[in-house]
């Protein structure tokens, strides 16, 4: 064995390390792959060795190879091995490798849970840090669930280094395990006010990230962020907060109003460009959210635009870019203020930087109007000519089309101009956007009836000159426009001047080189043209033209019949037969035109893009159900080839049949028509409209093509669209003159068609009349279309799951999976490897148990959510009623007691808090806090007075989370008091990290108005104390397990020495036992998982199992510890008695009055009662005391009478009816366990006898 180790370490001396590997790769430039593969073989050998150092070295090299693109997932298990090394050096290597190559489907990840948990609680902060960093990269839903609680504990770690990492990683945990968001959120919120700026910044970061996706859930945090914004000096934090406000303002315009002033101040004062820029951005967002333009807002816009202009004019390209980016946001709502900077933006179009040009283009999109569209597009066309790179030119092209087609061609006054622009664009060399141009042509031709004559003429020219477009078919995207051209010419062939010529152009042999889908359109539309030719020749005595057309078709179509493309072939053979038949009829002088035209009769209407989606699924139709039994795999495989074969057979033979059975044809046509008529989804139009538009296969370049466009143009020489600009100018002038004349005449005229374009103009606000009658046909929708379903979120978006209401108080069952004795176990495990292995083998069992628990919990949660919803409605309704009449009393009550009893009450309170905060007039930023508080005071009885930023419902740890907010409040106050008493400035533990006094004051403000404030209360009672240490404890039942209670003990070091090796031990009784890790004897103590420097306190939790809970009991225990000075260390011990009262088995459980009444009626409960004399305190204090000390909740309170409820961990119901008159309090109680009830009542009595 020893020999083996020696051998291993010696061999290792010759191993390559990372540097050797890199050097080797650099020296083997020619055969790198080969060299690396030998290296990987070496690494595989190294990984087989036992020596962890060798393994770590190998894993380190693998990480490098991973970066070079080698798959190293095969070493995942070795990575886990290295991660679990006890040495930081290796651990770090392991975690780095894991973070680079683990992902959700890496199966060994599930083996890491325990290791990571161990590292997270390591006494060495860097072990924890490394684990957190690694985990942030490969956290899975399982890991998130299992570790959420551990990470949450780390959020309150004493070291800010760990805190900030823990806070950041929570975001990843939320994403993977959304259930953790609600339990963890209060603590996250608490971290916003962490004393360490790094932690604060991390918390802001996480909340911003969360709020960006689901802003509405975070609105209630606005006041807190506002405070941070006005107080923070960290630009990173400020930027994040300001960005967050940008996301929140759209939801709450009042927030925007409040923000404008501090933001403008920041804009004026800051020297940091990044901050200035974000401020401007958010001001813009605010301005967008404020729909009505208030006078002082136009000043803000001016300020923004002015600052942005400075950015854009800056020589720094980055600022220029950002300036343009922000400008485009203003543009959406305040186009006017941007339009005045048109010069600047057009100037940016000439910038050498492509990013900047693209941004400028974006801006142009919003700057066009009817007036300047032509001018701007003309400029862009010039740029198109100049642009060198195809990407930029393509971008220009799409932008031109975007600009022109935006909002239903709103700004186009002359569609002839637009068609000519489109035709000009076809000259673009090597564009990828042929299909875009084509679809525009189609769209315009279909939807603008008046333009069809012109469009058809232009398209005919295009078809005639097709050879120019198709120079190099292989890489040609522009030939797509021929698709549109052919279709337009065919569909609207009645407008063609010379259909015969176009028909000829469409049947040229060269067409066969076009992509299949275009050929198919050619063939189909040639048939349409043919029909038109026939029709036009009908009645002519000389029918030669018609016969020529037939002959032409018969001559040329066989070329397409041979096409390899099925679609082309099929259509061609069909049409060929048809034409042959027609030719026969022609020779017999039969008039066929009518019938042939009938083939293509019907008007085509555009259909809205979402029409199909909006058709509701008829009732009883299950789209997922099979219509027939699904064919078995083998069957389909057997039969398919046959079917294809038999189908193809007649097709091939078809050309040979010179005659088609006309009856059969008619029958089929009839049947098809019938079917179409019955099919609600069939668009009744010409058959060609069914064609699916296909993307062109990868086409990129064509050589420069110059189309001779002199034919359609009246002014040869000029690029044609320019001509329209001139014409337009003239037209507008004329129109203006006309208008003046007409005004004199006071005679209204209707819009005229394009024929009369010069003699009329409607009274448009822009004074520009469209040249054509722009009857843009609205897109059809199915009759029973469902209203809007537009902004559906991507179901796979992980943020969807995080859309969780965070203002609702936590339910009892909402907590993170906790492992008992986590800390202690971990403390022990690093010491003994054997034990660790134990834990590992134990893990799967536990986690499966946890899973089960989780399922149950989920079910519970659903239920409770539903209940809550109901309840919420109720309380809201109630609130409205109350607001009308007796404001003061009931509201105060809700403030005092409902907060304890009914969770929803505080929700509404929080909402109204926000309302209140927002309704405040904007105040100067630095006096904000004071002003809120001051303004709060004179508003009597309003529940909203409590400033929400001080809403103290941040539970201090998981156990306490179960409690209701009032309890926290009191606890906080108590802590506050403790702090003051001790005058301890050092606040090491999180419990003492409180917000500054401002928040606290306003809490008191909230409770002060009517009744005097509650005295501070605490459930932590002194356990034992000596010169060195003080222990206070609180005992809580565990709702999830009826036989567990959790004892939280705060240890406080009172001396000047270091306290370490604390061990907590309790003598078990028959009924109650301290839970110890498996394998330890019942006399072993538990190690307290921390050490205490002087003056520091920290909290540890211990779990006890109890069998019977009806009787109180006491357990004797001892704490042993070592007191360490510079020179000496002594063993000390402290005895204590742990008092398990019956109260500690009760759990605050809200109960609704109806359920409460039922419970009392059921008759299962035994009753008992007590009288308390000489109780000298307000009734609400009395109730609060019972709630707080004895874990009750108030069900209902009427004047000086209240019903209360609680439940034991084993499910006993305890109901109280508390009445007060003078100094006497009577408590009638009912419970299903009389002994328990008796004890609880005794304890209540004792509580009040003490005060």
Partner 1 sequence: MIKAILIFNNHGKPRLSKFYEHYNEDIEQQIIRETFHLVSKRDENVCNFLEGGMLIGGSDYKLIYRHYATLYFVFCVDSSESELGILDLIQVFVETLDKCFENVCELDLIFHVDKVHHILAEMVMGGMVLETNMNEIITQVDTQNKMEKSEVCAGRYCRSTCSCCISCKEHEPPGNAQKHQHWRHKHKSAKFTFLQIVAARS
CB of 368 to partner 1, least distance (A): 22
Smaller CB distance to partner 1: residue 243 or 757? 243
CB of 136 to partner 1, least distance (A): 3
Asked if residue 581 binds partner 1 (CB under 8 A), the reply is no
From the list 92-100, 706-714, 727-735, 1048-1056, the region that binds partner 1 by CB under 8 A is: 92-100
Asked if residue 90 binds partner 1 (CB under 8 A), the reply is yes
Residues 509-528 within binding reach of partner 1 (CB under 8 A): none
Rg (CA), the chain: 41
Site string for partner 1, 301-330 (x = CB under 8 A): ----------------xx-xxx--------
DSSP state of 1082: T
CB of 344 to partner 1, least distance (A): 16
**Rounded alpha-carbon distances, angstroms, from residue 740 to 751, 874, 942:** 16, 65, 63
Residues 278-297 within binding reach of partner 1 (CB under 8 A): 278
Q: Are 396 and 361 in contact (CB under 8 A)?
A: yes
What is the C-alpha to C-alpha distance for residues 1099 and 956, in angstroms, rounded to an integer?
Answer: 11
Q: Are 503 and 552 in contact (CB under 8 A)?
A: yes
Asked if residue 353 binds partner 1 (CB under 8 A), the reply is yes
**Rounded alpha-carbon distances, angstroms, from residue 543 to 302, 500, 531, 548, 592:** 73, 13, 14, 9, 12
Contact pick of 6, 566, 598, 644 for partner 1 (by CB under 8 A): 6
Site string for partner 1, 161-190 (x = CB under 8 A): x--xx--xx-xx------------------
CB of 278 to partner 1, least distance (A): 6
Asked if residue 212 binds partner 1 (CB under 8 A), the reply is yes
Site string for partner 1, 252-281 (x = CB under 8 A): ---------------------xx--xx---
Residue 405: CB atoms within 10 A of its CB come to 18
Contact pick of 4, 5, 863, 1114 for partner 1 (by CB under 8 A): 5
Asked if residue 208 binds partner 1 (CB under 8 A), the reply is yes
Smaller CB distance to partner 1: residue 355 or 551? 355
Contact pick of 35, 70, 392, 1152 for partner 1 (by CB under 8 A): 70
Which residues lie closer than 8 Å to 853 by C-beta, 6 or more apart?
817, 1040
Asked if residue 388 binds partner 1 (CB under 8 A), the reply is no
Asked if residue 136 binds partner 1 (CB under 8 A), the reply is yes
Asked if residue 1001 binds partner 1 (CB under 8 A), the reply is no
Kind plus residue range of the DSSP H or E element containing 1203: strand 1201-1208
What is the C-alpha to C-alpha distance for residues 692 and 214, in angstroms, rounded to an integer?
Answer: 38
Put residue 408 in one of left, alpha, beta given phi > 0 → left and psi -120 to 50 → alpha: left
> Pairing between strand 1113-1124 and 1129-1140?
antiparallel
From the list 110-118, 122-130, 779-787, 1211-1219, the region that binds partner 1 by CB under 8 A is: 122-130
From the list 49-57, 263-271, 426-434, 816-824, the region that binds partner 1 by CB under 8 A is: 49-57
Contact pick of 354, 497, 789, 889 for partner 1 (by CB under 8 A): 354
Residues 664-683 within binding reach of partner 1 (CB under 8 A): none
Find, among 570, 550, 543, the residue nearest to 507 by Cα.
550
What is the C-alpha to C-alpha distance for residues 845 and 849, in angstroms, rounded to an integer?
Answer: 6
Q: Are 573 and 658 in contact (CB under 8 A)?
A: no
Q: Is 1164 exposed, middle or buried (0-12, 13-18, 19+ CB in 10 A)?
A: exposed
Contact pick of 4, 9, 784, 1078 for partner 1 (by CB under 8 A): 9
Site residue total, partner 1 (CB under 8 A): 82
Asked if residue 157 binds partner 1 (CB under 8 A), the reply is no
**Rounded alpha-carbon distances, angstroms, from residue 42 to 11, 29, 48, 101, 1035:** 12, 19, 10, 20, 58
- β-partners of residue 1215 are 1205, 1230
CB of 692 to partner 1, least distance (A): 25
Contact pick of 56, 444, 496, 1024 for partner 1 (by CB under 8 A): 56
Contact pick of 2, 68, 921, 1070 for partner 1 (by CB under 8 A): 68
What is the C-alpha to C-alpha distance for residues 78 and 94, in angstroms, rounded to an integer?
Answer: 9
Which residues lie closer than 8 Å to 938 by C-beta, 6 or more apart?
none
Find, among 954, 976, 969, 951, the residue nearest to 1013 by Cα.
969
- β-partners of residue 235 are none
From the list 158-166, 658-666, 815-823, 937-945, the region that binds partner 1 by CB under 8 A is: 158-166
> Pairing between strand 1086-1087 and 1029-1037?
unpaired
CB of 907 to partner 1, least distance (A): 28
CB of 6 to partner 1, least distance (A): 7
CB of 72 to partner 1, least distance (A): 8
Smaller CB distance to partner 1: residue 61 or 968? 61
Contact pick of 27, 45, 89, 926 for partner 1 (by CB under 8 A): 89
Q: List the Cα angle 1054/1056/1058 in 5-degree steps.
A: 90
Asked if residue 863 binds partner 1 (CB under 8 A), the reply is no
Contact pick of 40, 43, 47, 57 for partner 1 (by CB under 8 A): 57
Contact pick of 98, 202, 457, 1086 for partner 1 (by CB under 8 A): 202
CB of 781 to partner 1, least distance (A): 28
Asked if residue 37 binds partner 1 (CB under 8 A), the reply is no
From the list 57-65, 148-156, 743-751, 964-972, the region that binds partner 1 by CB under 8 A is: 57-65
CB of 406 to partner 1, least distance (A): 18
How is residue 77 written in tokens? 């298990």
Which residues lie closer than 8 Å to 553 by C-beta, 6 or more apart?
503, 507, 526, 527, 530, 575, 576, 579
CB of 84 to partner 1, least distance (A): 16
From the list 179-187, 205-213, 619-627, 776-784, the region that binds partner 1 by CB under 8 A is: 205-213
- β-partners of residue 1119 are 1064, 1134
Smaller CB distance to partner 1: residue 353 or 662? 353
What is the C-alpha to C-alpha distance for residues 1001 and 1018, in angstroms, rounded to an integer?
Answer: 19
Q: Helix H segments across 786-938?
A: 822-828, 833-884, 888-893, 899-901, 903-919, 928-936
Q: What are phi and psi of 360, to 5 degrees?
A: -65, -40
- Estimate the crossing angle of helix 222-231 against helix 928-936, to 10 degrees: 140
Smaller CB distance to partner 1: residue 284 or 1115? 284
Asked if residue 221 binds partner 1 (CB under 8 A), the reply is no
What is the C-alpha to C-alpha distance for residues 431 and 390, in angstroms, rounded to an integer?
Answer: 7
Q: Check the CA dihedral 737-743-744-749 and report its sign.
A: positive
Site string for partner 1, 238-257 (x = CB under 8 A): -x---x--------------
Asked if residue 392 binds partner 1 (CB under 8 A), the reply is no
Smaller CB distance to partner 1: residue 93 or 534? 93
CB of 169 to partner 1, least distance (A): 6
Asked if residue 29 binds partner 1 (CB under 8 A), the reply is no
Asked if residue 87 binds partner 1 (CB under 8 A), the reply is yes
Q: What are phi and psi of 1219, to 5 degrees?
A: -125, 145
Asked if residue 53 binds partner 1 (CB under 8 A), the reply is yes
Asked if residue 206 binds partner 1 (CB under 8 A), the reply is yes
DSSP per position, 675-690: HHHH-TTS--S-GGGG
DSSP state of 475: G
Asked if residue 7 binds partner 1 (CB under 8 A), the reply is yes
CB of 990 to partner 1, least distance (A): 20
């Amino acid at each position: 064995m020893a020999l083996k180790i020696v051998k291993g370490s010696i061999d290792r001396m010759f191993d390559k390390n990372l540097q050797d590997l890199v050097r080797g790769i650099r020296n083997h430039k020619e055969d790198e792959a080969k060299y690396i593969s030998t290296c990987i073989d070496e690494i595989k050998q190294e990984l087989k060795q036992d020596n962890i150092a060798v393994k770590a070295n190998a894993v380190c090299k693998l990480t490098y190879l991973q970066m070079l693109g080698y798959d190293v997932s095969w070493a995942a298990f070795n990575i886990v091995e290295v991660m679990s090394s006890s040495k930081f050096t290796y651990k770090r290597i392991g975690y780095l490798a894991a973070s680079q190559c683990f992902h959700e489907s890496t199966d060994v990840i599930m083996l890491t849970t325990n290791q990571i948990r161990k590292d997270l609680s390591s006494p060495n902060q860097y072990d924890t840090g490394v684990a957190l960093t690694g985990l942030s990269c490969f956290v899975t839903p399982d890991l998130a669930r299992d570790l959420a609680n551990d990470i949450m504990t780390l959020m309150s770690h004493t070291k800010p280094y760990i805190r900030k990492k823990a806070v950041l990683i929570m975001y990843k945990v939320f994403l993977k395990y959304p259930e953790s968001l609600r339990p963890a959120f209060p603590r996250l919120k608490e971290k916003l006010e962490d004393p360490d700026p790094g932690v604060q910044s991390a918390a802001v970061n996480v909340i911003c990230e969360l709020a960006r996706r689901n802003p509405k859930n975070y609105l209630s945090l606005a006041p807190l962020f506002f405070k941070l914004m006005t107080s923070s000096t960290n630009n990173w934090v400020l930027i994040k907060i300001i960005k967050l406000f940008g996301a929140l303002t759209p939801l709450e315009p009042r927030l925007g109003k409040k923000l404008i002033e501090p933001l403008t101040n920041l804009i004026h004062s800051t020297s940091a460009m990044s901050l200035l820029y974000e401020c401007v951005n958010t001001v813009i967002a605010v301005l967008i959210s404020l729909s009505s333009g208030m006078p002082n807002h136009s000043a803000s816009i001016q300020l923004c635009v002015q600052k942005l202009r400075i950015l854009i004019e800056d020589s720094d390209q980055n600022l220029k870019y950002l300036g343009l980016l922000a400008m485009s946001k203003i543009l959406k709502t305040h186009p006017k203020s941007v339009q005045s900077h048109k010069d600047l933006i057009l100037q940016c179009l000439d910038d050498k930087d492509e990013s900047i040009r693209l941004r400028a283009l974006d801006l142009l999109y919003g700057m066009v109007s009817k007036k300047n569209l032509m001018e701007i597009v003309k400029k862009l066309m010039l740029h198109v000519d100049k642009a060198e790179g195809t990407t930029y030119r393509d971008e220009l092209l799409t932008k031109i089309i975007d600009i022109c087609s935006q909002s239903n061609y709103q700004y186009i006054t002359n569609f002839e101009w637009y068609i000519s622009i489109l035709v000009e664009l076809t000259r673009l060399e090597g564009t990828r956007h042929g299909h875009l141009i084509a679809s525009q042509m189609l769209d315009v031709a279909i939807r603008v009836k008046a333009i069809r004559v012109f469009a058809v003429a232009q398209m005919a020219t295009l078809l005639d000159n097709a050879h120019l477009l198709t120079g190099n078919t292989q890489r040609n995207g522009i030939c797509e426009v021929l698709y549109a051209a052919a279709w337009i010419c065919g569909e609207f062939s009645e407008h063609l001047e010379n259909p015969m010529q176009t028909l000829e152009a469409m049947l040229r042999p060269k067409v066969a080189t076009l992509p299949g889908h275009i050929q198919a359109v050619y063939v189909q539309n040639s048939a349409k043209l043919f029909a038109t030719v026939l029709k036009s020749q009908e009645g002519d005595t000389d029918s030669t033209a018609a016969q020529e057309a037939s002959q032409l078709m018969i001559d040329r179509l066989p070329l397409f019949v041979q096409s390899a493309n099925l679609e082309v072939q099929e259509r061609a053979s069909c049409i060929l037969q048809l034409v042959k038949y027609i030719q026969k009829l022609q020779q017999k002088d039969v008039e066929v035109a009518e019938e042939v035209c009938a083939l293509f009769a019907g008007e085509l209407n555009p259909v809205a893009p979402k029409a199909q989606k909006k058709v509701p699924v008829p009732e009883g139709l299950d789209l997922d159900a099979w219509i027939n039994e699904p064919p078995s795999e083998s069957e389909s495989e057997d039969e398919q080839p046959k079917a294809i074969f038999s189908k193809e057979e007649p097709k091939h033979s078809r050309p040979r049949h010179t005659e088609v059975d006309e009856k059969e044809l008619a029958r089929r046509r009839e049947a098809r028509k019938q079917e179409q008529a019955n099919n609600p989804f069939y668009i009744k139009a010409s058959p060609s409209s069914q064609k699916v538009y296909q993307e062109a296969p990868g086409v990129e370049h064509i050589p420069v093509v110059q189309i001779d466009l002199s034919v359609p143009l009246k002014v040869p020489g000029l690029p044609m669209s320019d001509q329209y600009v001139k014409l337009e100018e003239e037209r507008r002038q004329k129109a203006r003159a006309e208008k003046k004349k007409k005004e004199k005449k006071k005679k209204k005229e209707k819009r005229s068609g394009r024929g009369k374009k010069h003699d009329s103009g409607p009274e448009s606000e822009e004074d520009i009349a469209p040249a054509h009658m722009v009857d843009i046909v609205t897109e059809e929708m199915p009759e029973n279309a469902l209203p809007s379903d537009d902004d559906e979120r991507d179901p796979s978006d992980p943020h969807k799951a995080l859309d969780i209401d965070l203002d609702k108080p936590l339910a009892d069952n909402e907590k993170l999976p906790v492992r008992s004795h986590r800390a202690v176990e971990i403390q022990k495990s690093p010491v003994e490897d054997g034990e660790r292995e134990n834990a590992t083998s134990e893990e799967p069992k536990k986690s499966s148990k946890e899973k089960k628990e989780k399922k149950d919990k989920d079910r519970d949660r659903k239920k409770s959510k539903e209940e809550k919803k109901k309840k919420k409605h109720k309380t809201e309704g109630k609130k409205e009623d109350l607001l009308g009449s007796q404001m003061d009393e009931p509201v105060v009550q809700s403030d005092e007691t409902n907060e304890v009893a009914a969770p929803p009450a505080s929700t509404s309170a929080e909402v109204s808090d926000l309302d209140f905060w927002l309704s405040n007039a904007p105040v100067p930023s630095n006096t904000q806090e004071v002003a809120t508080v001051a303004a709060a005071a004179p508003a009597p009885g309003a529940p909203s007075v409590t400033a929400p930023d001080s809403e103290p419902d941040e539970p201090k740890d998981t156990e306490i989370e179960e409690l209701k907010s009032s309890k926290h409040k009191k606890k906080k106050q108590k802590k506050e008091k403790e702090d003051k008493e001790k005058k301890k400035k050092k606040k090491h533990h999180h419990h003492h990290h409180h917000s500054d006094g401002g928040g606290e004051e306003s809490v008191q403000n909230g409770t002060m108005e009517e009744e005097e404030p509650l005295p501070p209360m605490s459930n932590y009672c002194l356990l034992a104390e000596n010169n060195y240490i003080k222990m206070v404890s609180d005992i809580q039942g565990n709702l999830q397990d009826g036989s567990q209670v959790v004892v939280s003990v705060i240890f406080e070091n009172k001396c000047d020495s270091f306290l370490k090796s604390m061990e907590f031990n309790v003598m078990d009784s028959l009924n109650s036992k301290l839970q110890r890790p498996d394998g330890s004897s019942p006399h072993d103590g538990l190690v307290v998982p921390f050490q205490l420097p002087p003056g520091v306190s920290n909290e540890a939790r211990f779990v006890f199992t109890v069998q019977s809970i009806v009787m109180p009991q006491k357990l004797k225990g001892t704490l042993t510890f070592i007191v360490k000075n510079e020179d000496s260390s002594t063993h000390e011990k402290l005895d204590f008695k742990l008092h398990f009262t019956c109260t500690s088995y009760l759990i605050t459980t809200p109960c609704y009055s109806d359920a409460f009444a039922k419970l009392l009626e059921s008759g299962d409960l035994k009753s008992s009662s007590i009288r308390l004399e000489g109780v000298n305190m307000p009734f609400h204090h009395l109730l609060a005391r019972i709630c707080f000390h004895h874990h009750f909740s108030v069900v209902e309170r009427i004047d000086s009478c209240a019903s209360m409820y609680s439940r034991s961990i084993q499910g006993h119901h305890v109901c109280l009816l508390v009445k007060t008159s003078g100094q006497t309090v009577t408590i009638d109680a009912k419970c299903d366990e009389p002994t328990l009830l008796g004890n609880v009542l005794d304890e209540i009595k004792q509580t009040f006898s003490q005060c």
